[in-house]
Amino acid sequence: MSFTGDWSVNWDIFRAEYEDYVLVTGTAEKDKKIQAATLRSVMGSECRHVYRHNLNLSVAGTGDPAVILDELEKYFKPAKNTIYERYVFGSCKQEEGESIDNFVTRLRERAATCEYGQLKDEMIRDKIVLGVANESIRRRLLREKGLTLITAIEMCRAAEQTDIRMRAMDMSTTSPPHTEAVHAVAKQHSRQNQWKQSNPPRTGDTGLVQFTIPGDVLKVEHAQPGALTKEQLINKYRDVFNSPVESVPGEVHFDLDPNVPAVQSAPRNVPIAMKAAVKAQLDKYEADGHIAPVTDPTDWISNMQEQEDVQHVNQADYLNVSSQRLEQIRRHTDRDECLQALKNTVLMGWPDVKEEAPLIAREYWPFRDEISVQNGVLFRGQKVIIPKSLRPEMLTRIHSSHIGGEACYRHAQETLYWPNMQTEIKDFVSTCSTCNVYAHNQQKETMLSHDLPTRPWQILSMDMFTHRQKDYLLIVDHYSDFWEIELLPDMSAETVIKRCKAQFARHGQPERVITDNGPQFTSQFTRFTSEWEFEHVTSSPRHPKANGKAESAVKIAKNLLRKAAHDGDDPWKAILHWRNTPTENMGSSPAQRLMSRRLKTSIPATNKLLEPVVVVGVTEKLRHRKQLAKSFYDRSARDLPELEVGETVRMKPLPGDNTGRWRVGTCLRRVAPRSYLVDVDGSLYRRNRVDLRVAEPTARATHKTDGPEAAHAPEAASAPETAVEAPPTVTEPSPVRSTPKAPSSPVGAPPSDGHTYTRVGRLSKPPLRFTM
């Protein structure tokens, strides 16, 4: 046990260590006399003195370790006085040279006996603020708002480390004056006779003679006694330097332990100024027989650095290319003006500043230390610098496997280099015809939302679906999400229009109806929109996302019908319950938003709940829901640039086209936002922007547009589409209007030349026997 410091703390530490020792060694299982003897042997001489002279133990107690421990506990931890302990704690201050961690540790030890309870951390914090030695730290702690114990300790540690670093910086920036003296122990760079010259205020004529420096100008801050010169050192230890060196007669044999490695000192060069003196002294020792030169290999390495011959390694010899290819690179390098200027700069040496380097070689300045010339070929590290005339061939070789642009660059950057290589590789890959023909789908574009309705049944979406070999028409309201389904005996336009009239007579005329480009929504439906005075907006073919409201409602309706059929229930009851169920984050059901009342179902409800109540705030909730959906959708989306009229494009393969080729066509006009009419192989298609990509330059050069005759070319056999009398009326979405607008003339329709066109604008050419 240690008797230095607080005995009570030391006793707690000793007792815990003794109990662990007894447990580990198995002494606890032995006789009590053995345990007592073990305790006396490990307690230390000072503690044994206390045991012998200060404890009142009986004969039986001396053989019981528990009694000995209890008596020592009473001696080292007498009854404490809380008032005195708090006085000792309050008197603690940081000593000079004491670190903040040691100060905090001392405070914690003192506070442990003060019975502060929950106020312990606050008392230690206050004592740190009051007892810290640095006044600037105390000011910072007092300015800190909401200061905690942890914050106070961290601030003190940071200030302490800052002071240490500042003192180290001040010491490193002071250079000592040069002294012609030999240091017996210290190195030559040790500091001595430091002084600092300050600039005093102007006081006029000092009255001193010329070349005399006033005392307040030159201040010697620190001085050390001068080191011994060579002569003083020799005179002081004359018996060492002047006594003759004698040899031991006979042959001396040394027995070395083979397990002990030889002492190997790091080799060092002798300064130029000392070489002559060192050589003369070594020659003198050799002449006197004190040392002998060693020319054979030995495990004991000399401190003198061995001079090695310079080895020349030609990197071009290890290049994994044929000699013909290497010669080709060398010839093209000789003809490249930029690389010749770079080669001359490397051989002559780079200038100190970039502006002095040749203009055409400055782009290599950032990595000039990596460039070398070997056998007329330039290297950047292990990479061959390719001349400009060979870069097209290298691009073709890099992309020979038709992998992506990033993969091509990762493959090429290991062995080749030229400025802007990554950009040129990506541009080359993007213009590859083969890669464009078999390209992947384009990334989705950001979401375009329809206009927000301000009242029920204002904006509708329609779609048709088939369930169990039966056709249905679905109409969904954008305001309430309420949808109606109608069983269709057939898929004709007349039947669809009749079902729409029945729904419009029940709920009222809408202002806008959004559909796809089905054959039911063509010329007859156009006349219907004019008679009933609503706007008809169609989406791009093969792009169901544009009519997402109807697609989502169709999914819900088919799921309800499928589950009702599986259980043998009435599907209309399932639809009734869905219409009466509150929508998530809306606070009301579709029926409440459309009819301002709840529908009576088989679930009991009071008459008060069935009374009509107008639902308010629906538009704002719809706007918030759309914004939230758009923010999540747009995270992985980006907009594609708009296509120009007459621009050569490639169209996504049609369903059923197993070749997977993107065919070349021409953009004729923009039909709607992100919807274009294109001419592909003489046929007209309306497609969304995500299904069209800008063609590469080679495709633009080979593709020829023959004018209007191209639209009359035979229809592509691989992509048949249902023929209708005329293309649908397409209008761009616009803000909701209180007065319906009469439908505009067809957008993107082919010229009125007496021919019949399909619903997407392709020329319909029936067989000759049907025209006779």
571 pLDDT tier (thresholds 50, 70, 90): very high
Q: Which residue has the higher pLDDT, 739 or 102?
A: 102
Residue 471's pLDDT band (cuts 50, 70, 90): very high
Residues with Cβ within 8 Å of residue 94, at least 6 apart in sequence? 100, 103, 131, 132, 133
Per-residue model confidence (pLDDT) at position 719: 37
Both 121 and 48 in one domain: the answer is no
| Residue ending a domain, choose from 415, 430, 445 | 430
Q: Is the pLDDT of residue 394 over 80?
A: yes
- Type of residue found at 731: T
> Do 57 and 91 reside in the same domain of the chain?
no
pTM attached to this predicted model: 0.45
Q: Please tell me whether residues 467 and 511 are part of one structural domain.
A: yes
- Does residue 22 register a pLDDT over 70? yes
Quick: pLDDT tens for 446-464.
888 888 899 999 999 999 9
Q: Looking at the chain, how many residues does it have? A: 772
Q: Could you tell me the pLDDT band of residue 755, with boundaries at 50, 70 and 90?
A: low
Residue 353 sits in a domain of what CATH number? 1.10.340.70
The set of residues, in sequence order, having a beta carbon less than 8 Å from that of 54 and lying 6+ positions away, is 75
**What is the Cα 647 distance to its own chain's centre?**
39
List the alpha helices (DSSP H) in 29-148.
32-42, 45-53, 65-76, 82-90, 100-111, 120-131, 135-143
Phi, psi of 417 (to 5 degrees): -155, 140
pLDDT of residue 34: 84
Work out the mean pLDDT of the chain and round it to a whole number: 79
In a shared domain, residues 122 and 53: no
Q: Are residues 56 and 158 in the same domain?
A: no
At 375, list the tokens: 């056998």
pLDDT over 90 for what percent of the chain?
A: 22
For 31-90, the pLDDT digits (tens) are 878 888 888 888 888 887 777 777 777 766 777 888 888 778 777 766 677 888 888 888
Q: What's the DSSP call for residue 400?
A: T
- Is residue 519 included in any domain, yes or no? yes
- The amino acid present at 371, given as its one-letter code, is I
Query: Considering the domain boundaries, does residue 110 fall inside one?
Result: yes
Nearby residues of 557 by Cβ (< 8 Å), 6 or more positions away:
465, 472, 474, 483, 485, 575
Q: Which residue has the tokens 């080749």?
A: 416
Residue 559 lies in a domain: yes
* Cβ neighbours of residue 134 closer than 8 Å, sequence gap 6 or more: 159, 163
Kindly state the average pLDDT of the residues 212-221: 56
pLDDT of residue 409: 92
Q: Are 380 and 487 in a shared domain? A: no
pLDDT one-digit tens code per residue, 323-349:
788 888 899 999 999 999 999 999 999
Are residues 143 and 21 part of one domain? no
Whichever domain contains 118, its CATH number is 1.10.1200.30
Q: Are residues 72 and 91 located together in one domain of the fold?
A: no
Q: Indicate whether 438 belongs to any domain.
A: no
Q: Percent of the chain beyond pLDDT 70?
A: 77
Range of the domain at 35: 7-76
CATH of the domain at 612: 3.30.420.10
- Same-domain pairing of 487 and 576: yes
Helix (H) or strand (E) holding 167: helix 149-173
In this predicted model, what pLDDT tens digit does every residue of 143-159 receive, in sequence order? 888 889 888 899 998 88
Q: Which of 379, 414, 430 is the C-terminal boundary of a domain?
A: 430
Structure tokens at 708: 């209007």
Model confidence at 215, pLDDT cuts 50, 70, 90, reads low
- Give 583-637 as a DSSP string: PTTTSS-HHHHHHSSPPP-SS---TTTTS------HHHHHHHHHHHHHHHHGGG-
Those residues whose C-beta lies under 8 Å from the C-beta of residue 429, and which sit 6 or more positions away, are 399, 404, 405, 408, 435
Provide the edge-to-edge strand list for the sheet that holds 383-385: 371-374, 377-380, 383-385, 416-417
Between the CA of residue 765 and those of 348, 663, 723, 724, what are the distances in Å? 76, 22, 10, 12
User: Of 589, 606, 635, which closes a domain?
Assistant: 635
Q: What is the mean pLDDT of the segment spanning 381-403? A: 90
User: Per the structure, how many domains does the chain have?
Assistant: 5
Check whether residue 566 and residue 708 sit in a common domain: no
439 domain-assigned:
no
Residue written as tokens 């528990």?
Answer: 66
Is residue 240, in this structure, part of any structural domain at all?
A: no
Tell me how far apart the alpha carbons of residues 79 and 83 are, in angstroms, rounded to a whole number: 12
Whether residues 488 and 630 fall in one domain: yes
- The verdict on residue 18 lying in a domain is yes
Q: What pLDDT, on a 0 to 100 scale, did the predictor assign at position 759? A: 53
- SS3 state of residue 514: strand
Q: Which helix (H) or strand (E) segment is 679 a member of? A: strand 675-680
> Average pLDDT, stretch 101-111?
87
In a shared domain, residues 484 and 618: yes
8 A C-beta contact, residue 688 and residue 727: no
